[in-house]
Amino acid sequence: MATDSNKFQAIISHSKEYGFIFPSSEIYDGLSAVYDYGQWGSELKKNIRDYWWKSMTQMHENIVGIDAAIFMHPTTWKASGHVDNFNDPMIDNKDSKKRYRVDHLIEAFADELEKAGKKEAADALIQEMESLLGADDMAGLKSMIEKHNMKCSVSGTCNWTDVRQFNLMFSTQLGSVSEDSNEIYLRPETAQGIFVNFLNVQKTGRMKIPFGIAQTGKAFRNEIVARQFIFRMREFEQMEMQFFIRPGTEGEWYEYWKAERMKWHLSLGIAAERYRFHDHAKLAHYAKAACDIEFEFPIGFKEVEGIHSRGDFDLSQHQKFSKKKMQYFDAEINQNYVPYVIETSIGLDRTVMMVMSEAYCEEDLSTAEKQDSRVVLKFPAKLAPVKLAVLPLTKKDGLPEIAREIMDNCKPHFRCFYEEKDAIGKRYRRMDAIGTPFCVTVDHQTKEDQTVTIRYRDTMQQERIPIEKIKAIILSEIF
């Protein structure tokens, strides 16, 4: 059985073994912090994305979605502040050449203090770090690291370079001939694709404030310390929504979106105590107020989503740099203004990791007669990659034909999986391992009375139901 400390490793192995997540280009030994989603991982990820999309757009009449390009005019990133400010302070150990994010190095040291029963000292350290980060005091951070004799985990020495700022954007060249080429960036967030389209959407959609624009898509960050599986990747996917509001109403909308997003998380069937809000002490260059929704991963409480009150920073910056008016005429108060924005920004890959961590269970099923266990992914049915497995008990006597008919009847409506190989118990276990909530078995009695056995993944209970009810039962569970 996996303990909490090795549960994380168990999830990584399980994800690979059962076709959820593979290291990228693995035949060439992989690429650091880049992952590929396999046959079931991509279904799970798509289901989460669709669920988010539906809850944002279909369920909110005043939110519409867009799909902006990854490449954007380079001035976008000047205006947004990413060229000048999207940095992480980092430090190198001169002996091992290992590079650390300064906040990670200090946090790891504080964790050790806390484990040694020195909680007050650990808290004081974090507070000191946050105030130095807030003041962009790189020299202060370095002396703090030296004063506490924080060591590199590889060399074991305290021989550090100065603390430097490291920009996280990837750049590349646009244009085929080097003389004509322009340096452009791979977007580090999807949000700017929304801001530059604010006027297009507002005018063509005749949108009235308050309204939102949602988008999902890839983002790229050259993370200094990229580890912890799909928690911190260099290429990842975000699901973001920018909500445009009248200035002065940001306090209430910020609280509204905090509550609304927490409701969404709880609708995944995850218990409230697995979440907490974390208010930012150090605000990003654009933020007026900001918090994270943190989830208790097997590696501890970590951010899955950020909620930010951005004021009119982004639209005003784009107005300044593009010289195009980013204003809205509010007929209710007869005024023109640059709208304020509340942003909700959630990482899709981190949500996949959250759902996997919550779903992963190792169960001991041993009886007095025999030892037994299973690994089961208890996904909410609406997110499960496969909803229904159709399993003829044997390969003969006309059972596969009946099973095929059930498949044909159900597969236009939800993802089904057909399998006739191996003993039924083994097939159930394989379906448990990919989180399939329902299995139906076609047996000889089916030929007599048109009933099948339905088996429920979590309870492993079985009951007989008429074939004609299968579709309705599953549809009622997945919406």
Site residues (CB under 6 A) for ligand ATP? 189, 221, 223, 232-233, 236, 238, 303-306, 345-347, 349-350
Rounded distance between C-alpha atoms, residue 416 and residue 439, angstroms: 10
Rounded distance between C-alpha atoms, residue 73 and residue 84, angstroms: 16
Long-range contacts of 50-57 (CB under 8 A, 24+ apart): 51/382, 51/383, 52/216, 52/239, 52/264, 52/346, 52/348, 52/351, 53/214, 53/216, 53/239, 55/264, 55/267, 56/212, 56/214, 56/239, 56/241, 57/214
Rounded distance between C-alpha atoms, residue 32 and residue 23, angstroms: 8
Our CB check for ligand ATP shows the closer of 202 and 238 to be 238
Our CB check for ligand ATP shows the closer of 76 and 453 to be 76
Rounded distance between C-alpha atoms, residue 439 and residue 456, angstroms: 7
Our CB check for ligand ATP shows the closer of 163 and 304 to be 304
Our CB check for ligand ATP shows the closer of 238 and 453 to be 238
Q: Decide if 194 contacts 68 (C-beta within 8 A).
A: yes
CB 228 to ligand ATP: min, Å: 9
CB 51 to ligand ATP: min, Å: 16
- With b for 16 or more beta-carbon neighbours within 10 A and e for fewer, the 339-352 pattern comes to bbbbbbbbbbbbbb
Q: Decide if 292 contacts 345 (C-beta within 8 A).
A: no
CB 9 to ligand ATP: min, Å: 19
Q: How far are the Cα atoms of 39, 145, 385, 438, 458 from residue 414, in angstroms, in the given order?
A: 16, 55, 10, 12, 20
Our CB check for ligand ATP shows the closer of 223 and 255 to be 223
**Phi then psi dihedrals of residue 197, to 5 deg:** -100, 10
CB 359 to ligand ATP: min, Å: 18
- β-bridge mates for residue 215, sequence order: 240
Using Cβ positions, the residue closest to ligand ATP within the complex turns out to be: 347
Our CB check for ligand ATP shows the closer of 310 and 382 to be 310
CB 306 to ligand ATP: min, Å: 3
**How far is Cα of residue 113 from the mean position of the Cα atoms in its chain?**
30
- β-bridge mates for residue 183, sequence order: 173
Burial grade of 440 (CB within 10 A; 0-12, 13-18, 19 or more)? buried
Rounded distance between C-alpha atoms, residue 467 and residue 452, angstroms: 6
Our CB check for ligand ATP shows the closer of 305 and 443 to be 305
Our CB check for ligand ATP shows the closer of 349 and 432 to be 349
Rounded distance between C-alpha atoms, residue 473 and residue 410, angstroms: 11
CB 297 to ligand ATP: min, Å: 12
CB 377 to ligand ATP: min, Å: 21
Residue 9: CB partners within 8 Å, gap ≥ 6?
2
CB 148 to ligand ATP: min, Å: 23
CB 218 to ligand ATP: min, Å: 11
Our CB check for ligand ATP shows the closer of 168 and 467 to be 168
Residue 364: CB partners within 8 Å, gap ≥ 6?
1, 372, 373
CB 370 to ligand ATP: min, Å: 43
Instruction: Pick the closest to residue 89 from 146, 166, 162 (CA basis).
Output: 166
Burial grade of 152 (CB within 10 A; 0-12, 13-18, 19 or more)? buried
Our CB check for ligand ATP shows the closer of 67 and 364 to be 67
CB 346 to ligand ATP: min, Å: 6
Our CB check for ligand ATP shows the closer of 222 and 319 to be 222
Beta sheet of 451-456, edge-to-edge order: 416-418, 388-392, 438-442, 451-456, 462-466
